[in-house]
Each structure stands twice: as structure tokens, then as C-alpha cells.
Amino acid sequence: MKNNTKLCRLTAFLLCLVLLFVAAPLPQSFAASDDEDSVSDTTDTDTSDTDGDGTSDTTQSNTASNANVIAAAADAPTVTAEAALLVSPDSGMVLYEKNADERRYPASTTKIMTALIVLENVTDLSETVTAEASDFEHVTADSSNAGIKEGEVVTVEDLLYALMLPSANEAAYMLARHVGGTWENFVDMMNQRATELGCTGTHFSNPCGLHEDDHYTTARDLYKIAYAAMQDETFQDIADTVQWKMNTSLRSEYLILTTNELIRSSYAAYAYPFCKGIKTGHTSQAGNCFVGYAEYGDAKLYSVVLGSADQSAEYPEIAASFTDTSALCKWGFSNFTSKTIVKKGDTVKEIDVNLSTDTDRLVLTTKNDLVALVPKDLDVAKLLEDPNYTTPDEVNAPIKAGDVIGSVTYSYDGINYGTVELVALSDVELSQVLYYADKLSHFFQSTVFKVILIVLAVFVVLYILFNLTFGGMRRRKQRKNLRARYESSNYQRRRRR
């Protein structure tokens, strides 16, 4: 019996050692899991240099006449504007910026957001709005207007043209009331939309842009707003219109003209034929402002100038905001050219594929063409030398052709010239055998399986210890009973017989 007891105790000791051996990696498993979560959180919260609207903050600084100017090429123009921005929308590359994040009063460039909110909320532009006295309460008599009178019935379409061409302030309040119920509610919609567009330095206090201390924006934010508005074809048409005939309940074919001097007359010496809009603005506090859009061949540029001088040095009859804009665009088109970096379907990378017997490699191709405005002397081959891939090292089947797997960004000399998504070239079928084998393998390697092993080991040890403790007591009691029985007089008498 003593040998059996020793054997059981030795077995229990060995099981305890097994338990310790199994449990030892457990803290490391939990620690590894925590580390992975930490890395994931860092990745998730890490922000790239490119905004959600496609604007890249990465620029190259060259010699400029102003310490606050950052230009991506030499010989950048000197502008009178207090803040300025020039962006290539195809890649989001900033070609030129000056105090682009400084808060400035936007004046009537505010109306870009007003028009955007209206177009996003009104599907039938033939809807009519009747002018009310409240629409004129916050409009000064000497401010820009379209001559609309109280009680006059105007379509939303005509009001949009009045808003954007002669910059009619009463049209802004009529549209705001029509869409928002009150102009105050409409302003809340403007601020909400600005937040959605990623504007971080903007706050609107009215729908027209007349001066208020709490009504401000930045050149970079105005670009984001203008870019969003120009995705609407109706806005594009209005922004590039020189004149429009309004038809109201009181007037027929009432002619209104644009305030954009760059397109107003093609015969003017200061006209810029590649300009396609967008909006002017002026108050004594804001100075002269202009948000512009230009196209030259395949190249496109957005420009923003805020706080320009009242007169152009070259053409004193117009504000310097127009010549600032044309100078920036001419410089941009002269020093940069539109080039195709990659074409749709170009093969750029291969990655590993798991859980499939079809193949162990997946070919990734570009989802679409990537066209970017790049310096004219830059060889595209240099952009392809060291691309930055955002792709997993491996993926699991099944995969469908065209599934987005990641992206690739092309940069050179610190400047980001664009990002394109990468898609799977072909279908990859899932192997059911490999799938379930992988599931089983992961289960055996999982923390859950280790916990189950530990729990089972604990139960076995407890069971053995229980048997050693209570089983021994039971056996000793049985032996005691047998001994007492053997020693009893009745038992001895039965044996003698």
C-alpha cells in the first residue's frame, strides 16, 4: 500500500509539472495579443498626409519671395493675397501655398457652400420661392443684389444663378429659408457640411458672407468646399456662366452678369481663357477674394486667394485677386504637366494566397489610371522606382477578380503625386480541406485551447489529490473494520468450528 501511495503522489507531482509547463506560455500569449491590439490601434489612428478629399499637405519648399510661401517649383509668382493656395485635384498635390491654414474672412466666397447645400437638398430646381421681408433684414442696401423685391416669386434655379453671378445676398437668404426652414437652421447645415468635408478652420454665421467676426474660413478649407461643389454638374455650369436671364413673377428675361472678371469678357486683356469659374468675394474686412478653377489640356488646377489688393498693378481697373489667380495658374501650367503615372490594369505587385489549391500567389493590378500634375522635367520612371505599398503580405481565399486588396502611392523627393487602389487580377477559389485544416490548426494554437488544457489538468490533479486524501481514508477505515471483525469473538469461534 505504501508503494501505491508513493506512486500516486509521484503521478500527481508529474501532472503539476505538466500544468506549469502548459501554463507558462499563457501570459506571453495574452501579452502578444495585447501588443497586436496596440499595433492595430496605432495603425487605425495613424493619419496619412493626404486628406479624405484628396488634398496632400506634402509640398516641397523652394526659394520664394515670402517666408510663408511654399512652392513645388522655382520662380513662383509673388501675389498680393494674404493667403493663397494652388492645388492639382487629380493627385491632391499642393503646388503653392501661402498662409493656407490662417483664418480669414471669406466674404461672398461663402456662397459656394450655400449653393452646395441647396443642390444637395433640392432635386427640382423649378421649385419657387417667394421673397419675404425677412430675406432683406440682414442685407445692407449697398451690398450686391439681383434686384429682387418683396413678394417676387423666383425659381430655385434662377436664385442659384443670382447667388453665383451677381452675388445676390437676398438670393442667399431666400434659398437658406427655403431649404433650412429658417436661415439660422441653414447656417447650421453649412457648418455641419464643413465638418463633414474636413474643414478645420471654418465657421459660418450667415449664408451670404457679409462680415461678422465669427464668420471665417481658411484657403485650404475653401478648396475642400469648392472641390465638393464642383462634383455637381449644375454647379459647374453655373460657376462658368457669364450671363443669365432670370424669369420671375415680376420680370421677364432679366439679365444678370457674373462678377468674375477672368471670364466676363474674352476681349479684355486680363481675361484668362482657361478659367472655368468659380466665385468672387469682397468686403472691407476680407479684402478681395477669389476661388478659381482652370483647365489646360488634361491638367486641372484649383486656386484660392484671400485678402488680395484692391487694384492689380498691371490692370488697375480690376482687383488684384484676379491677376493673383491667373498668375498662379499660369505658373502652375508652365512648370507642371499632366502625365499618366500608371494605367488601369498595370501589374504592380504579387502577394501570397492561403487556403487555395489554385495558386499560392495573387497578382495585383491598378484599379484605374493615375494621372497627376508633375514637374515637366520629372521622368515618370523615377516615380516608379520606390512606390509605397499599403497591402497585406498575404490574403486568404476566396478572392474575386476586382476585389480591392490595397493601394500604392507614388512619391518623389518628398512629394506625393498620387495614390491608386490595387485589385485582384483573377478569382482564387477556396479549398474546403485547407480551410478546415487551418481552422483546426488555429484552434490548437489558440489561447482558448491552452485554457481548456489547463482547466482539464487542474481537474485531473484535483481528482488525484481527492483520491489520495479521501480514498486513503476510506481504505484505512475498511482495513480497520476488517481487523475489528477479525478480532471479534464471534469470528474466532466460527473459525474454530
The model's pLDDT over 458-497, given as tens digits with 9 standing for 90+, comes to 877 777 777 767 666 666 777 777 777 666 656 555 555 5
Backbone angles phi, psi at 326, to 5 degrees: -65, -35
CA 440 to chain centre: 38
> Cβ(354)–Cβ(345) under 8 Å?
no
pLDDT in tens, 192-223: 999 999 999 999 999 999 999 999 999 999 99
Transcribe 356-385 into DSSP letters: -SS-SEEEEEESS-EEEEEETT--HHHHTT
Residue 65, pLDDT score: 43
Residue 446 contacts by C-beta under 8 Å, 6 or more apart in sequence?
A: none
**Residue 67, pLDDT score:** 66
CA 84 to chain CA centroid, nearest Å: 23
DSSP string, 264-319: H-TTSTT--TTEEEEEEEEETTTEEEEEEEEEETTEEEEEEEEEE-SS-SS-TTS-
What pLDDT does residue 411 have? 87
Across 171-203, b (16+ Cβ under 10 Å) vs e yields bbbbbbbbbbeebeebbebbeebbeebebebbb
Distance between CA atoms of residues 115 and 151, nearest Å: 22
Interval 116-129: pLDDT, tens: 999 999 999 999 99
Kindly report, residue by residue over 122-174, the tens digit of the pLDDT.
999 999 999 999 999 999 888 999 999 999 999 999 999 999 999 999 999 99
Nearest 5 degrees, angle CA 156-CA 158-CA 162?
110
Q: Which three cell numbers stand for residue 444?
A: 490548437
What pLDDT is recorded for position 68?
87
- The continuous run of DSSP H or E covering 351 comes out as strand 347-354
DSSP assignment of 37-99 equals HHHHHHHHH---SB-TTS-B--------SSTTEEESSSSPPP---SEEEEEETTTTEEEEEES
